[in-house]
Structure 1
Amino acid sequence: MKLLKQVYYFLIYTNLLIAGAAIAQCALTYLFFDAPFDYPIIMVEGAATLLLYNFSMLLSKPRNPQKSIYKRTRWIFRNEWLLWLNNGIGFIVLVYAVFHIHLYSLFILTGIGVISVAYSVPIIPHKGKWVGFRQLPGMKIFHIALVWTLSSVCLPIFEMHLDGLTVDLHLFRTLFVLKFIFLLICTLPFDIRDIQQDSYYHLKTIPNMIGADRAILLCYALLITHSTIVLLSDIQFNVQMGILTTNLLIAVVLKQVVFRNANRYHYAFLLDFALIAQFLIVYLFL
């Protein structure tokens, strides 16, 4: 159990968990369309996500990391060499992969990267100063969900189109909506957990604006909405069953673990595992 816990924290601290989640969500798109995996696109997704999250971490490095109240911050910058090693490996993988995708897909990827960086980099005028998307009231989770949906749905589908594969536009629209809602579900608990921290940094997130209890109800409402759309859609039956099974597991984890232990900082990261579990469960159902 101790080893499992150490691995769990290692995956979180190094951002390898979130990179794995990005890979899984990208690969899931190919299951939806019953198409073969495009490994260069999947590699781009994982490497780019790792680099962007590491970049965000470096950008927010406190003046004295070892005095931070957060164990994660202390661990990361105590082992900063590992962060740079991950960046090096991620950069090599990304460079290799981009030479195996279409040029137009690279343009799309660049656009998504710019939007991603805008999360933290102050490029938007707001109330007389320049801010990133995370500083805009209520925008934080929507920005994250949009970036992930663009990269894990639009990018692989665009590459499929360039490869000459037929893309069902109705299925594409359905998947876009489902992915966006699912990512809101998996992101909102982090903002609920971080209410006090976000208040300290003057970030107006959805939970800050409506309160933790209403935000929890919103999370369940989104889960019900997502499940309803899945049931009413014309996606493959096995895919439907895999997604609904995942939603049921997420509902249990939210109720019994995440929301019941709001003071346990790292329990919310189980939602990152949910992004991987969704792919694995759907894959097993097929």
Structure 2
Amino acid sequence: MHPAHSTAQRSLPPPARWRQLLDAVLYSSVWLSVAALGLMWATFLFWGVHISARLGGLIFAATLFLYNLDSVLPYKHGQLPGATRRKQWIRAHRPQLLTLTVAAGAVAGVLYLTDARLLPLTLFGGHLALISVLYSMPLVRRHGRWRALRDLPLLKVFLIAYVWAAVTVWIPALYLGRDWASPVVLVLFARRFLLILALALVFDIRDYSKDRLTGTHTFPGVLGSRATKWLGLVALLGAALLVPPGVSVPHAVALVLPLALAAAVLWYAEESRPDYYFALLTDGMMVVQFVAVWLAVG
């Protein structure tokens, strides 16, 4: 680091230093990786089983790898730069993000290869990894722009919801030797799918103008923002009604109450909201779900 830059860093007032730290945690996908770990942990708590530290570390590292991979892909450099705080931070820290991406991928690989209970899940986990990589990877060039899986009309929110629900419900179930198609597991999967679907719609609202410029058809672009919010509320209502059988009253409340907070975040989402509304608050709804379950069963 350049000495002048170090001096400038030390001279920053405490609020500015804290904001820099917050930006690094949010825009490097560390916060999102914590959310993925929390949702998986909540699934283990449902069965009263301690989460495997190795599996938890794998999910954290793999999430960190996949989401930062999207930021450092070379084809991204030629896209519209945008003026959001998040995009500015990513452009300014691409070398550090590249290092973090490589390190996270290496850690995920080591944790996976050294856990005998994960190796039988290779085929199942492989299709989730394939979807995650192809989600942003350029596949075809159309009208002068590279198109990825996420650019298929109205598909991206369902891809996100499916992968997150499968990773945080089906993988723990299979890891513990449970039937992925049993009624209880399917209920957990469905309510997790609907929660993530609603949160993904919030990010579609955020990206409304960008998606229109790039020709990506999303629910806000097709239905409008207000109808998209109603669609998300229906998804959250569905999740609230899907309470797994046999859970205690405190656990049932812990499963449902965070959905009300998610509904408020969805309803007040606007494209003009600051980046923190999405990166901190919206993604934070997944952390809230974990904390609520942990307090209920702890």
**Is the pair's TM-score, using the shorter chain for normalization, greater than 0.5?**
yes
Equivalent AA in structure 1 for residue 294 of structure 2: Y
Equivalent AA in structure 2 for residue 218 of structure 1: L
Alignment match, 1:45: 59
| Contact 1:47/1:91, CA 8 A, preserved across alignment | yes
| Contact 1:261/1:267, CA 8 A, preserved across alignment | no
Alignment of 1:237 with 2:253, yes or no, is: no
1:266 to 273, 276, 282: 276
TM-score for the superposition, normalised by structure 2: 0.83
CA 1:277 to 1:5, structure 2 compared with 1: closer, same or farther past 3 Å?
Answer: farther
Alignment match, 2:194: 181
Alignment gaps of 5+ in structure 2: 1-14
Alignment match, 2:122: 106
Alignment of 1:199 with 2:212, yes or no, is: yes
1:15 CA displacement: 0.9
Larger Rg: 2
Alignment match, 1:63: 78
Paired positions, count: 278
CA 1:273 to 1:112, structure 2 compared with 1: closer, same or farther past 3 Å?
Answer: same
| Contact 1:40/1:101, CA 8 A, preserved across alignment | no
CA 1:126 to 1:155, structure 2 compared with 1: closer, same or farther past 3 Å?
Answer: farther
SS in 1 for 2:50: coil
1:251 CA displacement: 2.8
Identity %: 24
Q: Distance in 1 between matches of 2:40 and 2:70?
A: 21
Alignment match, 2:7: none
Alignment of 1:221 with 2:234, yes or no, is: yes
1:166 CA displacement: 7.8
| Contact 1:41/1:101, CA 8 A, preserved across alignment | no
Aligned pairs for 1:110-121 within 5 A: 110-121=126-137
Q: Distance in 2 between matches of 1:101 and 1:209?
A: 46
Deviation readout 1:74-133 (Å, 9 max, x if unpaired): 221212232123224312321331112431123322221111112122448999x98422
Q: Distance in 2 between matches of 1:139 and 1:167?
A: 24
Instruction: Point out 4+ residue stretches in structure 1 off by more than 3 angstroms.
Output: 1-8, 122-127, 165-168, 232-236, 252-255, 260-263
Equivalent AA in structure 2 for residue 116 of structure 1: S
The Cα RMSD (Å) is 2.7
Alignment of 1:278 with 2:289, yes or no, is: yes
1:7 CA displacement: 3.6
Alignment match, 2:108: 94
Alignment gaps of 5+ in structure 1: none
